[in-house]
Structure 1
Amino acid sequence: MQRMSTEPRRPAGRLLSRPVLAWASWDWGSAAFNAVMTTFVFTVYLTSDAFGGEAYASGVLGAGLAVAGLFIALLAPVTGQRSDVGGRRKLWLGVNSLAVAVLTALCFFVFPRPELLLLGVALIAAANIFFEFAGVNYNAMLAQISTPSSIGRVSGFGWAMGYVGGIAALVIVLVAFVQPVFDWFGSSTEDALNIRLVAVFSALWFLAFALPVMFAVPEVPRQRNADRLGFLASYGLLFRRIKAIYRTSPHTIFFLLASAIFRDGLAAVFTFGGVIAAGTFGFALSEVILFAIVGNVIAAVGAVIGGFFDDRVGPKLVIIVALIGLLVSGTAVLVLGAADYEFFGVQWSGDTTFWVFGLLLTLFVGPAQASSRAYLARLSPAGEEGEMFGLYATTGRAVSFLAPALFSLFIGIFGEQRFGIIGILVVLLAGLLVLLPVKPPAKVPPAVVPAP
């Protein structure tokens, strides 16, 4: 029988409308958790010698995040489905965002002592779980604040806000806490007070910028018979819907698989970019930070440009062009970065090559990420976006080992760090090849998927 209710798409008259700005504000705020807590500052602190040594602490952190990834993979689709059915998408976005902020703030109590390593890892891992759950509901809102003709631009704008928000948060953290330009109580390094206060700052930053979406975007309508479905029964409905989607729209499943692969490669570009810059090209820490800032700016510009093309030529072509650009740029870094050479009468060094083609890589990452989200939003039946983005999170987690494993494998084979780039390129190429035969989404929202 047909799904009991449908969710109306709420058109945005212009890109910089109140609902779009409020929605993108969440992306801006979430960068404090992504960039500050899990990438550049707090996890670096957790893996320092103060917690038992880099190797040991890194192993514990990796294990904790792996367990968090398992929870996300198992629960994300069902939590998204239940927020769709119960008409509580915005509610659960707020609840999960609040949980992330609270868990992040609690990291203040992780003093630099080995016995507190498990507490720190547990808090970061739990925050990751709730962050992904919030992300499912946040991504599902994309259809509410856009139209089929503007969805690409809106998605690209959101990604750009995330990149720029990360830069803003990192700069504040750098000049106020890590390398303070003025003395204040929060700059004290005793008991790592400055780093622990970074956690409080990140929590407040995220919470403040997550609030606007709660007031500017309406809740989705509640579907009839929502209370009759128990939590475990939700899995039965999930599998039946997956079968129904495969039967009525198999290319949706194929896209989920393709995007899971190339999104792992996209994540690896940023994950290992700084590592390669320092290890292969000899960048100092200050240069790595500068490269990260410039790279995020260029990625934001790329996301906005890609969004405009998305609405004109469709997300599939944007993703294909972006992946090809990534493959060409990555190959240039690998081949041309091996030695100094002369190009059109100009002497280029390896680090110059990385600045040019490494930044070109970041230009293509933004459009691929933003159009991937817009692609799935176009494929999702109205009222079932949460469930679809839950599957999006699950498939991504299922293959998240690919790029790191191949990166390490090729380093082991060739004995040099720069050859790890081959592993990233292989994942991007595999994602591109799987995507090519996938049917592009229609600009008109798909028909309702039948559910038992």
Structure 2
Amino acid sequence: MPVKSAAPAPPDRPTRILSRQVMSWASWDWGSAAFNAVMTTFVFTVYLTSDAFGGEERASSTLGWGLAAAGLLIALLAPVTGQRSDNGGRRKLWLGVNSLIVALLTGLCFFVFPRPELLLLGVALIAAANIFFEFAGVNYNAMLSQISTPSSVGRISGFGWAMGYVGGIIALVIVLVAFVQPVVDWAGSSTKEALNIRLVAVFSALWFLAFALPVMFAVPEVPRQPKAAQLGFFASYGLLIRRVKAIYRTSPHTIFFLLASAVFRDGLAAVFTFGGIIAAGTFGFELSQVIVFAIAGNVIAALGAVVGGYFDDRVGPKRVIAASLIGLLVAGSAVLILGAETYSFFGMAWTGATTFWVFGLLLTLFVGPAQASSRAYLARLAPEGGEGELFGLYATTGRAVSFLAPTLFALSIGIFGAQRYGILGILVVLLAGLLLLLPVKPPAQVAPAVVPAA
């Protein structure tokens, strides 16, 4: 039998955000922020690319290649791992297994002492953790259809993103006051052999693991599809190709959205990836100021995700995404144009740093709604029983173009000779994503996909 598009949600699915299932599901997002914000963005990778590992240039290059290799494996494997967890009725199981592996790999970063010969160990651990984190994310996102109804999917997706941002805020504050700039001296705050930073890895592992557990007890497992579950690993790629062709034939706008979202999501990721770099390099922020800005940005992004989710369920995800991308283009342009000079308003100086604080935070306001509504958009299109496979394709298409923003960021700097022009490269990616999105029909107007069974 073919796998049909998602039918109306059964009455036992949550209809309100503050239900046990939704809170438990969103707890995973809260916990994952320790890996995203602390390990891969603001703390551990900064440590890993320091002079202690043989020079910033060498360490950064090694880390870049390691993450590139991880991205390639994710692109190749994510759809099939999602498909096989769907078919085998093991979506929750693999979410738990992959989350546990991420926590273990994160904790092992404690043994990355500040020595050049341990650079490869650190990069290997972070790269491998990224792979399993993405695999876990495929199953986690696929659960959105299980814990929402058509009338609440936008708000629940936005709530999950908001929980992730708030979790990042709390984790960053703890890391700042307990390890990086401790308010009280204690054994774990020692900088000898970078003990404080290595303990941040242990903290992040425990934080993620603790908050990943509730979903394992609250959300039921998906039913097994016996015939599809018997497919071998490589045969799963044949099924994947047949299903992608069927989706394109019966619901082409689902594929169009995957392509458009891949582009604008790369731009969204770049806002946070390069935000701290621009704050420090262009606007002179110290490390502590970067962390404070990151905390403030997460607060604003969380609010944006909640408000965006509210509008998502009322006007549809496409309008929310388009409005958010326009807001990002306006705010980013303001940082680029106004950030180069100091202006005087009513006798008060408006510096480049002021510009970054105001419009940089405005950027984060629009990132949350665009991310949350993108996930909700796809959840509305996912065929029943094929959510993991489709979110695996979501991960793959995102990885396939993940070179765009970094390449244009670096190219813009090279052409114009100043770091702040890297913002222009990010804006080009966001604009391209918006233009690709505009012809895509909203979910309510998209024909349901009918895809073949095994």
Normalising by structure 2, what TM-score? Answer: 0.96
2:261 and 2:433 in contact (8 A); partners too: yes
Match of 2:181 among 154, 176, 179: 179
Aligned pairs for 1:49-88 (under 5 A) are 49-88=51-90
2:78 and 2:393 in contact (8 A); partners too: yes
Q: Counterpart of 1:83 in 2: which secondary structure?
A: helix
Match of 2:352 among 340, 350, 353: 350
Indicate the residue corresponding to 1:2 in structure 2: 2
- Tell me whether 1:207 sits opposite 2:224 in the alignment: no
CA distance in structure 2 between the aligned counterparts of 1:76 and 1:366, rounded to whole angstroms: 24
How many angstroms does 1:183 deviate by?
Answer: 2.2
Which AA in structure 2 matches 1:157?
Answer: F
Which AA in structure 2 matches 1:2?
Answer: P
2:99 and 2:136 in contact (8 A); partners too: yes
Match of 1:423 among 422, 425, 429: 425
1:47 and 1:57 in contact (8 A); partners too: yes
Indicate the residue corresponding to 1:26 in structure 2: 28
1:137 and 1:386 in contact (8 A); partners too: yes
How many angstroms does 1:224 deviate by?
Answer: 2.5
2:113 and 2:194 in contact (8 A); partners too: yes
1:334 and 1:421 in contact (8 A); partners too: yes
Q: Which moved more, 1:436-445 or 1:363-372?
A: 436-445
| Structure 1, gaps ≥5 residues long | none
Distance 1:389 1:413, change over 3 A: same
Indicate the residue corresponding to 1:320 in structure 2: 322
Indicate the residue corresponding to 1:262 in structure 2: 264
1:378 and 1:443 in contact (8 A); partners too: no
Task: Give RMSD over aligned pairs.
Answer: 1.8
Q: Which moved more, 1:342-351 or 1:84-93?
A: 342-351
CA distance in structure 1 between the aligned counterparts of 2:230 and 2:391, rounded to whole angstroms: 23
Indicate the residue corresponding to 2:170 in structure 1: 168
Q: Counterpart of 1:339 in 2: which secondary structure?
A: coil
Distance 1:178 1:167, change over 3 A: same
CA distance in structure 2 between the aligned counterparts of 1:448 and 1:401, rounded to whole angstroms: 32
Indicate the residue corresponding to 1:234 in structure 2: 236
How many angstroms does 1:448 deviate by?
Answer: 4.0
CA distance in structure 1 between the aligned counterparts of 2:314 and 2:302, rounded to whole angstroms: 19
Identity rate, percent: 83
Indicate the residue corresponding to 1:108 in structure 2: 110
- Tell me whether 1:401 sits opposite 2:378 in the alignment: no
Indicate the residue corresponding to 2:254 in structure 1: 252
1:173 and 1:198 in contact (8 A); partners too: yes
Which AA in structure 2 matches 1:195?
Answer: I
Q: Which moved more, 1:226-235 or 1:82-91?
A: 226-235
1:149 and 1:443 in contact (8 A); partners too: no
CA distance in structure 2 between the aligned counterparts of 1:274 and 1:45, rounded to whole angstroms: 14
CA distance in structure 2 between the aligned counterparts of 1:445 and 1:297, rounded to whole angstroms: 37
Distance 1:167 1:101, change over 3 A: same
Distance 1:332 1:220, change over 3 A: same
How many angstroms does 1:270 deviate by?
Answer: 0.8
Which AA in structure 1 matches 2:224?
Answer: R
CA distance in structure 1 between the aligned counterparts of 2:152 and 2:193, rounded to whole angstroms: 49
> Segments of 4+ in structure 1 off by > 3 A?
3-10, 342-347, 443-448
Distance 1:225 1:51, change over 3 A: same
CA distance in structure 2 between the aligned counterparts of 1:226 and 1:146, rounded to whole angstroms: 26
Corresponding pairs, count: 452
Which AA in structure 2 matches 1:316?
Answer: K
2:250 and 2:449 in contact (8 A); partners too: no
| Structure 2, gaps ≥5 residues long | none
Indicate the residue corresponding to 2:130 in structure 1: 128
How many angstroms does 1:348 deviate by?
Answer: 2.3
CA distance in structure 2 between the aligned counterparts of 1:296 and 1:401, rounded to whole angstroms: 24
CA distance in structure 2 between the aligned counterparts of 1:223 and 1:6, rounded to whole angstroms: 16
Q: Counterpart of 2:364 in 1: which secondary structure?
A: helix
2:44 and 2:197 in contact (8 A); partners too: yes
CA distance in structure 1 between the aligned counterparts of 2:432 and 2:394, rounded to whole angstroms: 18
Q: Which moved more, 1:294-303 or 1:192-201?
A: 192-201
How many angstroms does 1:447 deviate by?
Answer: 5.2
How many angstroms does 1:285 deviate by?
Answer: 2.4
1:378 and 1:445 in contact (8 A); partners too: no
Indicate the residue corresponding to 1:374 in structure 2: 376
CA distance in structure 1 between the aligned counterparts of 2:339 and 2:123, rounded to whole angstroms: 37
Indicate the residue corresponding to 2:333 in structure 1: 331
Distance 1:240 1:394, change over 3 A: same
How many angstroms does 1:429 deviate by?
Answer: 0.3
How many angstroms does 1:342 deviate by?
Answer: 4.1
Which AA in structure 1 matches 2:297?
Answer: G
1:381 and 1:445 in contact (8 A); partners too: no
Q: Counterpart of 2:307 in 1: which secondary structure?
A: helix
Q: Which moved more, 1:300-309 or 1:280-289?
A: 280-289
CA distance in structure 2 between the aligned counterparts of 1:115 and 1:335, rounded to whole angstroms: 43
CA distance in structure 2 between the aligned counterparts of 1:48 and 1:30, rounded to whole angstroms: 25
CA displacement 1:253-281 (0-9 Å, x = unmatched): 11000000000000111111122122222
Match of 2:48 among 35, 46, 49: 46
